[in-house]
A and B are shown apart, each in its own frame.
Chain A
Amino acid sequence: MKLKTLSSKIWMPTDLREAWRLRQLLQLESHFIAGGTLWQTKWEKGAPQPSHLISLENIKILEAIYEKEDGGQNFLHLGALIRLADCLRYPIIKAKWPLLTKAVKTIAAPAVRNLGTIGGNVASTIGDAIPALLVMEAKIGCFDGDDIKKIDLDHWLNEEFKDDLITEIVVPEISAPPSYVHFYQKIGRREAFSGSVVTIAGIIGQNDNGTIDFARLAAGGGENRPRRLRITEQLLDGRKVESALLKKVHEAVFSEFQPAGDAFFSADYRRRVAANIVIAELKKLEEKD
């Protein structure tokens, strides 16, 4: 509750090794912090303030942003310290990773996005950028004291939470034909600037015969860690959009997506809405056809 001045000591390492060693030294008494926007909300609700905060904001390497080819595929490397607002400023992101732009636009409001970082959004494990990153099969870089290890975001989210030193987000460019449907929808409690109730992202494509040959879906919202909806994806793969399929897909999303409810919206509402949105997007695919 003490918000005016924190009880924590602030450490400001300037490189990754220093940050890592501080963390090893201070262990559970400490926490990494970047923009700090989400932490402040948690502290205000009464979450304990750690004795030490290790600010990553002075580590210049975390501000890098660049494109790089690897194995014939183009990747966006977003330094963990890139502010959410900056994700919206680079025209290249808007052009090649539109889903990311779409997602970041729905996070908080401009002033908060000027402070909050993409790394922090991912590190929270419930950030609204995550469903978009999941369907693009993004990886994250984690510093382990010696090296930066690349880990699938999906895989990382499925592990027990640990306070990793996330260095970057690596997002493959998906050069999908224009007939593909890309979607990202965040359903909040109001039109803007509210936590997510349901966040759902997807990329669905079909070949010339109208058979679905590409399907990735991810959903989250509220306190729920976003997850790929792989069962539904499998159901879609190799099928044609027709009314029988729509009904099945609706049921599949409803049963596969298992979010927790809260005082404002039940789990069932979230599941139903997620399913409705997927169906609406599938119908768009049909129209494109």
Chain B
Amino acid sequence: MADKQMSSSIKLPSEERMRMSIFVNGKKKELEIHPAARLVDILREQLHLTGTKISCGIGRCGACSVIMNGRLVNACLVRAYQANEKEIVTIEGLAEKGLHPIQQAFLEEGGFQCGYCTPGMIMAVKAILDQYPNPTSQQIVDGLSGNLCRCTGYSGIIRAVQKLAEKETSRLDSKC
């Protein structure tokens, strides 16, 4: 009896599937999906955005980093119910009008080798530059500390971000 009363006063959970809408790279997507599906799988399998990679599955490598409502997150740790109604930017959303300056810097400075950590790494760099247009070395390494790269030893990545920061400095200088 008590149970019945209680369940009538409780909102029922979504059953096997939930309707979900997310805005991915500026486009609204409507999906019927299990509420506990991982964002990384939604992106890769439902939306065929395979630029976001999967490597550790527990938020310990950053290969699946995307920006959700302006913040860097591990898409393997975000479940559908948490991504509902959110705005997501993936690597595919970065180069819609030619290469993004971050991508250009990575190309010029050797910020990648095998390329598997690269999409997540570039999203992490974007998150840093969105927060600090002219980051210090400390801000760069703090901001990238959750993104593992096994190929470059990070040297090329550091060069690329420093180059972007220098550009920003000279842009600011020329303004003054």
- Classify A-B as touching or not with yes or no (CB < 8 A): yes
Known A-B contacts A3-B38, A57-B82, A110-B146; A40 and B62 likewise in contact (beta carbons under 8 Å): no
Q: Are B145 and A115 in contact (CB under 8 A)?
A: no
Known: A10-B13, A111-B59, A192-B145. A36 touches B77 (CB 8 A): yes
B72 at the interface (CB under 8 A from A): yes
Q: What is the number of contacts between chain A and chain B, taking CB atoms within 8 Å?
A: 105
Residues of B within 8 A of A35 (CB): 77
Q: What is the CB-to-nearest-CB distance from B81 to chain A, in angstroms, rounded to a whole number?
A: 5
Total A residues in contact with B, Cβ cutoff 8 Å = 37
Question: Which of A3, A13, A55, A112 has the most chain B CB atoms inside 10 A of its CB?
Answer: A112
Determine whether A12 belongs to the interface, using a CB cutoff of 8 Å to chain B: yes
Q: Are A5 and B36 in contact, with the CB atoms below 8 A?
A: yes
- Nearest CB on B from A243, distance (A): 36
A108: interface (CB < 8 Å): yes
The stretch that binds B, out of A18-26, A135-143, A226-234, is A18-26
Query: Distance (Å) between the CB of B55 and the closest chain A CB?
Result: 13
> B65-98 CB contact bits vs A (8 Å, 1 = yes)?
1001001111011110110000000000000000
Q: Are B13 and A115 in contact (CB under 8 A)?
A: no
Within the complex, what minimum Cβ distance (angstroms) separates B16 from chain A? Answer: 9
By the criterion CB–CB under 8 Å, are A21 and B10 in contact? yes
Name A's interface SS.
Answer: mixed
A193 touches B81 (CB 8 A): no
Q: In the complex, which residues of chain A have a beta carbon less than 8 angstroms from the beta carbon of B174?
A: none
Number of chain B residues whose Cβ lies closer than 8 Å to a Cβ of chain A: 39
By beta carbon, the residue of chain A nearest B71 is: A114
Q: Is the CB of B6 within 8 A of A110?
A: no
> Would you call B146 and A111 a contact (CB within 8 A)?
yes
Q: Say if the beta carbon of A28 comes within 8 Å of chain B.
A: no
B59 and A37 contacting across the interface, CB-CB below 8 Å: yes
Interface residues of B in 1-60 (CB under 8 A from A): 3, 6-7, 9-11, 13-14, 34-38, 41, 57-60
The reply to whether the CB of A4 lies closer than 8 angstroms to some CB of chain B is yes
Residues in chain A near residue B146, CB distance under 8 A: 108-112, 193
B82 surroundings in chain A (CB, below 8 A):
36, 55, 57
Contact across chains for B9 and A21 when beta carbons are under 8 A apart: yes
A-B contact pairs, 6 of them (CB 8 A): A11-B13, A12-B14, A25-B7, A111-B73, A115-B73, A193-B146
Which B residues are within 8 Å of any A CB, using their own CB?
A: 3, 6-7, 9-11, 13-14, 34-38, 41, 57-60, 62, 65, 68, 71-74, 76-79, 81-82, 124, 127, 141-143, 145-147
Per CB-CB distance, the 4 closest pairs between chain A and chain B, nearest first, are A109-B146, A6-B36, A192-B145, A114-B71
